[in-house]
Chains A and B, each alone.
Chain A
Amino acid sequence: MAEPLADLLSLLGIGVVALLAWAALAPFEALGWWAGWFGSNIHTDDLSIDLPDAQAPEAVDSYLVFLSGIAQVGGESLSRRERAFLDRLDERLPQTIVIDDIFPYSVNNLPLTGQPFFARLWGWALRRKLSDNWLERLGGYLINLRNIWQVAISIDHRYGPIYNQAMARVIAHGLARKGYDPEQPAPVFVMGYSGAGQIAVGAAPYLRELIGGPVYVILLGGICGSDPGLLAVDRVYYLYGEKDTAQRLTPILLPGRWPLMWYSDWNRARRRGRIVFRSLGPMTHAGGTGYMTASQHLDDGRTYQAATIEAIEEVVAENVPHSHWEGL
């Protein structure tokens, strides 16, 4: 009886050590990129280059960059629910160009399935993720874990400035692809969903420097550390669901978010009113009762999806110069 237990414990121990070793090696991607080992290219092979020449430039008054949660494998692999949500958001914000093809867990926008050494592994994990069998789907969580390491890299003060600068460049590149004019910098909203909240907060100050225009962060059920970016961007909107336990409980693991750490960037940003908290309703973190679902309704009859989109519209309307709206 004792032997199988010992074996199980050894296996568990090996598993934990393997996980930690994987985590320890994770920063090499960002570090190697910074040192120039992988070139400075930003991956855009299959992405659309879409300068809004046909659109009158004055019709565009802002840009919104959506960064997806940690389940993503590449810039163009959004879930059906996310796709529907973003299409609807795009319709509701006709003067805002919505950019949703950025992969926030890679320093050069390279999707996991295009990585030089591990493409096959990620392809395998992606197939598991899409499987109907719950046991097989466990394999898909490798992707989530891998992306969690990238979020941790963005939080870490040693790697954060490297990773976040890389992400700011990827986002700026995305803006350029969609015709952003640095001569007349329009407001940019960087919206991080779930773990991408940290990436949004981390990258935003560098993005602000790059484009020379206002940058606002929208955290949608967002998880972020006590990042200096909270104090450096124009404003952070913290949109959350009452039943979203992930965004409520994760800060326990992040000492900078504890009230006790009164001088942390998070607490200072809070005191200065830089973080605006808005409850959206009884949404959970993800899935069929999450922010993007269209099959659940609030008491007032709006779908969860509609309520979330309305909250985002409000943030945009509050920050885009009034003259733009008057001219419509």
Chain B
Amino acid sequence: MSEFSTVFLAIPGSETLLPGFAELIRRALALDSSVYRLVAGVGNGLGVALLVVLLAGLSEGVGQSIVLFINHITPRRFVLSLLLSAVTHAVGYLFWAASIWLVGMRLFGRGEEFAVVARAVGLAYAPQLFGFFVLTPYLGSLFSLIIGVWTLLATVVAVHAGLGLTIWQAVACSGVGWLLVQIARRTLGRPLLAFERWAENRAAGVPLRWTVADLRRIRLPADWRSLVRRNRPGEKDDG
């Protein structure tokens, strides 16, 4: 640890020195395994991990917000929905970390505490801080792919560093963990997902019934004749 202490900034109130947030993110993005090991090993690492996950959730929420607009959400509800997406992101993160921890323990016989795994896996959400770039016109799906692959690599590095597995063990551990999450979503997790959908609709204040795929067949009401009538000379136009 001493090799870092001279250049690292202390996070107020913490006994262990961590680099500044921006530096942590920079190194997490660079897939520097030492930073994942560092965050996994300190008590306040969980706060950092959760902050990354929440901010990533907000950014991803903005990136996916098209569906909110399609369903004519109001500005206030828009903000509320983004906050909710950050929270659901955090809940998803806990499940993700838990399944990796379980797989690490059962399949690879690792004895690390859950918190250690959770800290490392949370930091691996760093690439999703760029989630709002998915909105970029025309390049959105490319960015989505880049962010997805980047997050995957970061997760493997985090599992490798947090659980002390080799890279290939970390790949296997993340893969089985991912499968576990998918199975859980389709079985035990169903009521939770239903609750999430209910909460999303509540936050939006409008039923979120349309998706991007529906856009081509949705038409805004347009009364052509009234358009012509309104434009008779001498009458104020109001579109």
Report A's interface with B, CB cutoff 8 A.
20-21, 23-27, 31-32, 34-37, 40-42, 44, 49, 51, 108, 149, 152-153, 155-159, 161-162, 165, 169, 172-173, 176-177, 180-182, 209-212, 228
Q: In the complex, which residues of chain B have a beta carbon less than 8 angstroms from the beta carbon of A152?
A: 137-139
How far apart are the CA atoms of A25 and B140 in the complex, in Å? 12
How far apart are the CA atoms of A20 and B74 in the complex, in Å? 26
CB neighbors of A among B203-236 (8 A): 212, 215-216, 218-220, 222, 224-225, 227-228, 230-233
Q: In the complex, which residues of chain A have a beta carbon less than 8 angstroms from the beta carbon of B109?
A: none
Contact A34 B70 (CB under 8 A): yes
Cβ contacts B67-81/A at 8 Å (1 or 0 each): 011101111000000
Please give the distance in Å from B71's CB to the nearest CB on chain A: 8
B12 contacts the other chain (CB 8 A): no
From A24, A158, A161, A181, contact of B132 by CB (8 A): A24
25 contacts between A and B (CB under 8 A): A24-B132, A27-B135, A31-B65, A31-B69, A34-B70, A35-B68, A35-B70, A35-B72, A41-B239, A42-B237, A42-B239, A51-B233, A108-B239, A153-B138, A156-B138, A161-B215, A161-B218, A162-B215, A165-B220, A169-B222, A172-B227, A176-B228, A176-B231, A182-B225, A209-B219
Q: In the complex, which residues of chain B have a beta carbon less than 8 angstroms from the beta carbon of A49?
A: 231, 233, 237
Contact A177 B231 (CB under 8 A): yes
Q: In the complex, which residues of chain A have a beta carbon less than 8 angstroms from the beta carbon of B218?
A: 161
Contact A37 B75 (CB under 8 A): yes
Asked, given contacts A32-B69, A161-B218, whether A153 binds B227 with beta carbons under 8 Å apart, the answer is: no
Q: In the complex, which residues of chain B have a beta carbon less than 8 angstroms from the beta carbon of A159?
A: 66, 137
How far apart are the CA atoms of A151 and B59 in the complex, in Å? 24
How far apart are the CA atoms of A27 and B237 in the complex, in Å? 27
Please give the distance in Å from A62's CB to the nearest CB on chain B: 17
Q: Closest 5 CB pairs between A and B?
A: A152-B137, A31-B69, A42-B239, A161-B215, A152-B138
Contact B222 A36 (CB under 8 A): no
Please give me the residue from chain A that is nearest to B229 by CB atom: A176
B133 contacts the other chain (CB 8 A): yes
From B73, B135, B228, contact of A180 by CB (8 A): B228
Please give me the residue from chain B that is nearest to A183 by CB atom: B225
Please give the distance in Å from A314's CB to the nearest CB on chain B: 30
Please give the distance in Å from B50's CB to the nearest CB on chain A: 25
Report B's interface with A, CB cutoff 8 A.
65-66, 68-70, 72-75, 132-140, 212, 215-216, 218-220, 222, 224-225, 227-228, 230-233, 237-239
How far apart are the CA atoms of A32 and B222 in the complex, in Å? 18
How far apart are the CA atoms of A108 and B232 in the complex, in Å? 20
Asked, given contacts A35-B69, A35-B73, A182-B225, whether A23 binds B215 with beta carbons under 8 Å apart, the answer is: no
Name the residue among B75, B138, B139 with the largest chain A CB count within 10 angstroms. B138
Q: 10 extra interchain contacts, Cβ-Cβ under 8 A, other than A26-B137, A152-B139?
A: A23-B137, A23-B139, A25-B135, A31-B69, A35-B69, A35-B70, A37-B74, A51-B233, A177-B231, A182-B224
How far apart are the CA atoms of A24 and B72 in the complex, in Å? 20
Please give me the residue from chain B that is nearest to A149 by CB atom: B137
How far apart are the CA atoms of A169 and B239 in the complex, in Å? 9
Please give me the residue from chain B that is nearest to A182 by CB atom: B224
How far apart are the CA atoms of A211 and B238 in the complex, in Å? 19
Contact A44 B73 (CB under 8 A): no
Contact A158 B75 (CB under 8 A): no
From B75, B132, B135, B227, contact of A173 by CB (8 A): B227
Please give the distance in Å from B21's CB to the nearest CB on chain A: 18
Q: In the complex, which residues of chain B have a beta carbon less than 8 angstroms from the beta carbon of A155?
A: 137-138
How far apart are the CA atoms of A280 and B224 in the complex, in Å? 36
Please give the distance in Å from A69's CB to the nearest CB on chain B: 18
How far apart are the CA atoms of A181 and B225 in the complex, in Å? 9
How far apart are the CA atoms of A156 and B216 in the complex, in Å? 12
How far apart are the CA atoms of A92 and B86 in the complex, in Å? 60
How far apart are the CA atoms of A276 and B70 in the complex, in Å? 35
From B132, B137, B215, B237, contact of A153 by CB (8 A): B137
How far apart are the CA atoms of A41 and B227 in the complex, in Å? 11
Asked, given contacts A32-B69, A51-B233, A172-B224, whether A40 binds B137 with beta carbons under 8 Å apart, the answer is: no
How far apart are the CA atoms of A152 and B238 in the complex, in Å? 29
How far apart are the CA atoms of A228 and B138 in the complex, in Å? 15
Contact A211 B138 (CB under 8 A): no
Please give me the residue from chain B that is nearest to A206 by CB atom: B219
How far apart are the CA atoms of A51 and B224 in the complex, in Å? 16
